[in-house]
Amino acid sequence: MREFDVAVVGSGYVGLVTGACLAYIGHRVTCVDKNERRVADLQRGKMPIYEPGLEEMVARGRSAGQLRFTADLPGCAREAEVVFIAVDTPPGEDGSADLSNVAAVARSIGRALSEAGERERPLIVVNKSTVPVGSGDYVSMLVREGAEEAGNGSVDFRVVSNPEFLREGSAVYDSLFPDRIVLGAESREALDTMRELYEPIIEQSFPAEMDPRPKAAVPFVTTDLASAEMIKYAANAFLATKISFINEIANICELVGADVSSVAYGIGLDGRIGPRFLSAGIGWGGSCFPKDVSALRSIAREYDYEPLLLDAAVCVNERQRKQVISKLQRELHTLKGKRVALLGLTFKPNTDDLREAPSLEIARTLSSLGARVVGYDPVAAKEAARLQPELKAAFDPYEALRGAHAAVVVTEWEEVRSLDPARAASLMEEPRVLVDGRNALDPERCRRGGLLYRGFGRA
């Protein structure tokens, strides 16, 4: 394989995982970040995020001399063959993606190219950030503007869309063993270069510490820029809608006396539906689904189109969080003066990500209704308490349960799944309510242990 010189701009969740994995398969990678403190931490091996396996992957790349960190974007852009843009695109007030970070990077790349002079090959500029349809053309315009500002608009580059499909908690695995690699470009030359870059992953030819490998080869999907950008939004919107669908079914199950777990298992065996993303509960959160669904709705409205199905998916998701409060009120009658323990605070297990986490919204609502809220999480309790001052942090699940009238399973960490119901009940105050927001615990075991169990979609 050919060893590429790669720059990855943005050393957050996507950028750091991408850079570490590209270094692992044999490329020379420089991760760039404008936050000099983050760069200094990474140079010492200190991680800015919690992601299983990432710290070891970064350490391996650094020790092999394949991975380094810097704040010098112009220098990296001049030397690199491929530059990935992996900066944050947060939602604006109207739900649309804020591209100001992408724009700043694109202009800086243009200035660097202008100052570098003639190149042997065109620079490949890769949009790895989740960006709206049309952003490839937008980035091309900004690179040229940056070059013109520096005095030389005749710069040689190609823009590629390469959306990420990483799941927090398994991002390293997803990078090395993806379901597919999607590339969009108007240049055949750029697509061929990217295929060469990804060849060790496509062919699964890199050394891997697992046997057998999950798959023999990875599908390599090439299309135009706009379609590649839409694939990312469509994938996340579909998964969010699937979760909202099973939550709608769960609410009907409660009314008619059916069990949504059995229903989900039964319909999941249908090959047209599949079993994944059919877990009922308090709904979806995190950094991707809310932002991407919101952005796709915003894009539709730019064209005077009302995305009714996506709107409904969001409405169902918002209602699920309110269901937690309703279930607690039904059993406690009043929340004033009651102590409620939230078990798990991140939006999903095996990450420290609290963006759009249901726990924070539930904590705010409970506090506004007069409850005293304590929250346990194995990695994010302290940060959650900083973000939500009404939330008291606990660093052991049983500490959180002590003196609580009710508990809510918000995130199904293994430490939460393995709770001893009898021990939990012995620490709690009457009526010892447990609202299982992820249907993660055994209802009968909880009841035998002395807890008043309430799940989602369970009769």
pLDDT digits (tens, 9 = 90+) for 25-45: 999 999 999 999 999 999 999
* Separation of alpha carbons 396 and 382, rounded Å: 12
278 is in an annotated binding site: yes
pLDDT of residue 217: 86
Residue 143 token pair: 């690179």
DSSP 8-state code for residue 97: B
pLDDT at position 245 is 98
* pLDDT tops 80 at residue 186: yes
Task: Judge whether 383 is annotated as a binding position.
Answer: no
Nearest to 343, CA basis, from 224, 240, 424: 424
Please report which confidence band the pLDDT of residue 112 belongs to, taking 50, 70 and 90 as the band edges: very high
130 known ligand binder? yes
* 55 marked as part of a ligand binding site: no
Annotated catalytic residue, options 76, 253, 288, 446:
288
Residues whose CB falls within 8 Å of the CB of residue 256, separated by 6 or more in sequence, listed in order: none
* DSSP result, 190-222: HHHHHHHHHHHHHTT-S--SSSS-S-S---EEE
Mean pLDDT along residues 48-73:
95
Mean pLDDT of 344-350: 96
Structure tokens at 41: 């931490």
Q: Is 89 annotated as a binding residue?
A: yes
Count Cα atoms within 13 angstroms, Cβ side, for 194. Answer: 29
Q: Lowest-pLDDT range, 47-61, 151-165, 179-193?
A: 151-165
Tens digits of per-residue pLDDT, 359-382? 999 999 999 999 999 999 999 999
Q: Percentage of the chain surpassing pLDDT 70?
A: 98
Torsion angle (degrees, nearest 10) of CA 265, 269, 271, 277: 20
The beta strands (E) that lie in 377-454 are given as 391-394, 406-409, 433-436, 452-454
Domains located in the chain, CATH noted: 5-223 (3.40.50.720), 312-454 (3.40.50.720)
Give the three-class secondary structure for 125.
strand
Q: Using one digit for the tens of pLDDT, what is the confidence trace for 413-450?
A: 999 999 999 999 999 999 999 999 999 999 999 999 99
- Any idea what the Cα angle at residue 244 is, between residues 238 and 248, rounded to 5°? 140
DSSP state of 375: E
Q: Based on the residue annotation, tell me whether 288 is a catalytic residue of this protein.
A: yes
362 closest CA partner among 329, 394, 337: 329
- Predicted confidence at residue 287, as pLDDT, reads 82
Question: Using CA atoms, how far apart are residues 324 and 220, in angstroms rounded to an integer?
Answer: 42
Q: Residue 4: is its pLDDT beyond 90? A: yes
> Which percentage of the chain shows pLDDT scores above 90?
89
Half-sphere exposure (Cβ direction) of 201: Cα atoms closer than 13 Å: 26
CB 440 within 8 A of CB 416: yes
pLDDT at 210: 59
